[in-house]
Structure 1
């Protein structure tokens, strides 16, 4: 393939990456930055704080489960762009109320919309490398997933700035700032989605049970991985605050985490996961994420331990969705990629719904560190389960070449 088509593919994948910037970088992970301020200003328990994230994750489960239906009804391109716009609106509205039920509803709607955009965006990114082979596809999927790290970096810059000006009450301004940037992100995503290659056959086609059965270990791994990593992401800022880390330290932690995620996703994981057979990729990711949790639990409290944790955890956690997308692409027929990725994301979001609620309850009874040890156990179990996944088709199986829709 000549350099120009490769460059065009990379630009399409980066344009689509606006989806995970909003879906995970803002809607999911920025909550960890805003949580201590919201908890202080609104006088929540840890269980209430975890419950709000669970409302978001419940919406995510439903959104992931209905993504294929939206793709069939509206077309995958229109559904992706529309869900992204709804996500941006939900972020803006979250900064306008302090009512817990209303906030829960907005987090639920935001979770539903971001799941639809993330699932469909993942499937679209998997199609960008039309005829380019599994390794090329893995690189482009990694470009798409790098949007999460970019979103985390932007959150780490915007939210602490809002809190520094207004204290705990600045959580409203934080959500509003994220909402404005999310609105701006819709533009490049719409431009990119129009240039994604079409797939032969019906988008979002159903999958035979035999196809799904081949991915059974990956489904189990993704539930455990989702519960383990999101428990850390939800409560680590609260732990660092309890350990005495100030606003500047927290902002530095979040920016380092986001930069590590973006750089590693762009430069390492696309290549590594594209080469590792079966479930070795997901297992390796789980182990590295587990190692990233340990510094804030075992090392003396302070910025050095926080930054080690941010660098290790950040460099590996978004390799999980990359691995799941690559496994779906490797194992399923092209017409079933959207359905397969959607079902895997349902498993992922089930874990994300349960993890913060259980971790929050443990934190209320024994402290935040106790809740974070749940992450360690879940990630260890995830690594063991992932090793049971086997490849079912050759890594470089022939793929249909699709025409670009212009």
Structure 2
């Protein structure tokens, strides 16, 4: 069946592109720090392992901050919240760039993560509302595309700038760009037109729907599986596949381009048949990771499989985010915040488990095997989600709406979820 329509144009609105540029900045600051750790450690007189806490602090800030800030800013106008998040984001980078104290830089990273979580959970709601029911997954795919482009382009550029100007240089640039993004959002995103004050009780009541937790579990497992493998991809490429170290960035660029393709295709397919898209993505990701575990002694095969890992692993994200918003009904903000936290939980647990597997007799084959198991486990909540869909009524859990309004507000007709 063709996807529902609400009379809005099929082309994504300009505000979605603006918000995608914001997520590009957020993604760049999350990942660029990995390439700057030695310089930061040397400048701030700490060890590289201590400097690595800047990555852990950001992840922790995202896990806790996204849902917490979703509730804390619930009654603020959405445009004002986005602008405030970018201003705080800019100030966090300024503090870090000006500081000679590791503790202060660490605190600035936590504040920056809170701003990132706020921007994501509110931006996802604004983008999907602007795009309309027929393009919910596409809009989320565009936002996730900003994060993917950050991995492909923003992170290497930031690392290069850090080599030229010192580690503080990328922080100054990110502060300036985020301040500019705040001005653009103030200009192009319309004022909030919500007629009723949002309800914190309604946001929590929406979480009673088991389908939201099945969706979040799928996010955690699938991203945990892919990033468990990606976290230790360099030793797999150089030591197991015998790929020269200087060629590793090219292989990782292929992975990033594959992830960008996956979010684009997954966003389009997810608007038509979300559950079918998710089951296919999880199954193919499991197969790709299993093949990578077994066949990664071949350089050519490994390069192909790493690229496919990006395609299949990220194809599910737009549809998962869209379903979380759909099942939350007219109280989507907290669900959006949890959608930002869930992948980071998977990344934290998956990378930790993969690190243990790397030191086991499996060696470099350990991380992709951990990823295979996590991706395979994703099929359990997705299958349960498929089975429970038929037992739920057609209207969202809370607050009740007329059937037509309910279908329009959440982005899918009930007949198009399969």
Interval containing the TM-score (normalised by the shorter chain): 0.7 to 0.9
Partner of residue 62 from structure 1, selected from 64, 68, 72: 64
Distance 1:81 1:286, change over 3 A: farther
Deviation at 1:351?
2.6
User: What CA RMSD, in Å, does the superposition of the two structures yield over aligned residues?
Assistant: 4.0
Report the number of matched residues: 388
Is the 1:284–1:383 contact (alpha carbons within 8 Å) kept by the matching residues of 2?
no
In 2, Cα distance between equivalents of 1:338 and 1:271: 23
Deviation at 1:38?
7.0
Work out whether 1:265 is the aligned partner of 2:267: no
List alignment gaps of at least 5 residues for structure 1: none
Q: TM-score, normalised by structure 1?
A: 0.77
Is the 2:216–2:339 contact (alpha carbons within 8 Å) kept by the matching residues of 1?
yes
Deviation at 1:105?
3.3
Distance 1:361 1:249, change over 3 A: same
TM-superposition CA deviations, 1:115-162 (whole Å, max 9, x none): 111111111112113xx43x3222222222221222222225404534
In 1, Cα distance between equivalents of 2:252 and 2:174: 15
In 2, Cα distance between equivalents of 1:241 and 1:88: 37
| Structure-to-structure mapping, 1:6-405, within 5 angstroms | 6-7=10-11, 9-23=12-26, 25-31=27-33, 33-34=35-36, 44=48, 52-91=54-93, 101-102=103-104, 104-129=106-131, 132-133=132-133, 135-159=134-158, 161-162=160-161, 173=169, 181-192=177-188, 194-195=189-190, 198-199=193-194, 201-203=196-198, 205=200, 206-208=203-205, 211-237=208-234, 239-240=236-237, 249-266=247-264, 268-276=265-273, 278=275, 280-291=276-287, 293=289, 297-300=293-296, 304-305=300-301, 307-334=303-330, 336-363=331-358, 369-390=365-386, 391=389, 392=392, 398-399=404-405
Q: TM-score, normalised by structure 2?
A: 0.75
In 2, Cα distance between equivalents of 1:245 and 1:126: 42
Deviation at 1:32?
5.0
Is the 1:283–1:384 contact (alpha carbons within 8 Å) kept by the matching residues of 2?
no
Distance 1:123 1:319, change over 3 A: farther
Is the 1:253–1:307 contact (alpha carbons within 8 Å) kept by the matching residues of 2?
yes
In 2, Cα distance between equivalents of 1:368 and 1:97: 38
Distance 1:384 1:103, change over 3 A: farther
Is the 1:330–1:393 contact (alpha carbons within 8 Å) kept by the matching residues of 2?
no
In 2, Cα distance between equivalents of 1:36 and 1:115: 27
Deviation at 1:332?
2.8
In 2, Cα distance between equivalents of 1:247 and 1:150: 23
